[in-house]
Amino acid sequence: MKPQKLLIETMSAGGAGLAPTADGRVAVSYTLPGETVMAMVDGERGALQGVIKPSLARIAPFCPQFTICGGCAIQHWQAEDYEAWKHGLVVQALQANGIKAEVAALVDGHGTGRRRVTFHARFARDPHGRMRATLGFMRHRTHDIIAIEACPLLDAGLAGALSAARALVEPLAAVGKPVDVHVTATLDGMDIDLRGTGAVPEAVRQALMRIAQDHDLARLSQHGVLLIERRRPRLQIGPALVTPPAGAFLQATELGESVLAGLVTSAIKREAPVADLFAGIGTFALRIATRASVHAYEMDQAALAAGESGAHTTQGLRDMRFVHRDLFRNPLMPHELKAYEAVVIDPPRAGALEQMREIAAAQVPLVVSVSCNLATFARDAKILIAAGYVCEGVTPVDQFRHSAHIELVGVFRKAPAAKKRARPMLG
Catalytic residues: 372
Q: Are strands 107-108 and 17-19 parallel, antiparallel or unpaired?
A: unpaired
Q: Phi/psi zone of residue 282: left (φ > 0), alpha (ψ -120 to 50 degrees), beta?
A: left
Using the CB atoms, write b or e for 201-224: b if 16+ within 10 Å: eeebeebbeebbeebebbbbbbee
Helix or strand run (H / E) with residue 52: strand 45-53
Q: Shortest CA distance to 110 belongs to which of 298, 255, 234, 248?
A: 255
B/e letters for 348-379, b = 16+ CB within 10 Å, e = fewer, are eeebbeebbbbbbebebbbbbbbbbbbebbbe
116: how many CB neighbours lie within 10 A of its CB? 22
- The DSSP 8-state label assigned to residue 91 in this structure reads H
Q: Of 154, 144, 232, 148, which Cα lies nearest the Cα of 188?
A: 232
**CA pair distance 72, 151, nearest whole angstrom:** 11
Rounded distance between C-alpha atoms, residue 17 and residue 419, angstroms: 51
142, with CB counted inside 10 A (0-12, 13-18, 19+), is exposed
- Cα-to-chain-centroid distance, residue 52: 36
Q: Give yes or no for a contact between 296 and 285, defined as CB atoms under 8 angstroms apart.
A: yes
